[in-house]
Chains A and B, each alone.
Chain A
Amino acid sequence: ETGVTQTPRHLVMGMTNKKSLKCEQHLGHNAMYWYKQSAKKPLELMFVYSLEERVENNSVPSRFSPECPNSSHLFLHLHTLQPEDSALYLCASSQGASGGYTFGSGTRLTVV
């Protein structure tokens, strides 16, 4: 596979559930990102990992927990979410902060 792969593509979860989003990049990049895209809002950066260390945590609630076990994989663990957390969650990767970004197809999350 090439590029950035996200799974699942769609997810419906209850407010008491625990689920995880997965992102995998096959580009040899050293930085990975989670973005949130809500209706009528610009893309919001959630987390950044560079060389497997978290370098940005953009005031995200603790019910979102990222994990980066290696430079190719990034997870977003979800628990006790709220309906307003329903959104498109996008993963991206780049080579350093100044490299071009490649995005995955996103996970469309619905919290019921």
Chain B
Amino acid sequence: GIQVEQSPPDLILQEGANSTLRCNFSDSVNNLQWFHQNPWGQLINLFYIPSGTKQNGRLSATTVATERYSLLYISSSQTTDSGVYFCAGYSGGSNYKLTFGKGTLLTVNP
């Protein structure tokens, strides 16, 4: 199966700062997704982005499929952005196994 690596593993920001989270894949992937897990465990789907760029408010994501990476941008961070950010993808075919990275733990301080 594919390998998913996320960086950095931990990130501490002051409120209002911008940040970039990175996700690298060992092989070409379909179904690239970014998730945010809040402190209560809820996983929220942020983006479904197999390629290209999408924006949703202060968040945007870019996937360069040919170079096997994806970036998540957080601008003007807020304390509610704290939590763990996961990227995940799968290599296609009949295998439904979505492989997750280990996540980036983001802490936004007031």
Contacts and interface: CB of A to CB of B under 8 A. Distances in A.
Interface string B87-102: 0101010111110111
Given A48-B96, A48-B97, A55-B94, A98 B42 contact: no
A55 to B, nearest CB: 6
Contact of A58 (B33, B90, B97): B97
Query: What is the interface of chain A mostly: helix, strand, loop, or mixed?
Result: strand
Interface in A45-89: 45, 48, 50, 55-56, 58, 88
Interface residues of B, number: 24
B35 interface: yes
A48 B96 CA distance: 7
Interface string B13-55: 0000000000000000011010100001111110010000000
B100 A101 contact: no
A56 B100 contact: no
Ranked nearest first, the 3 interchain pairs of A and B with the lowest CB-CB distance are A100-B48, A103-B43, A43-B100
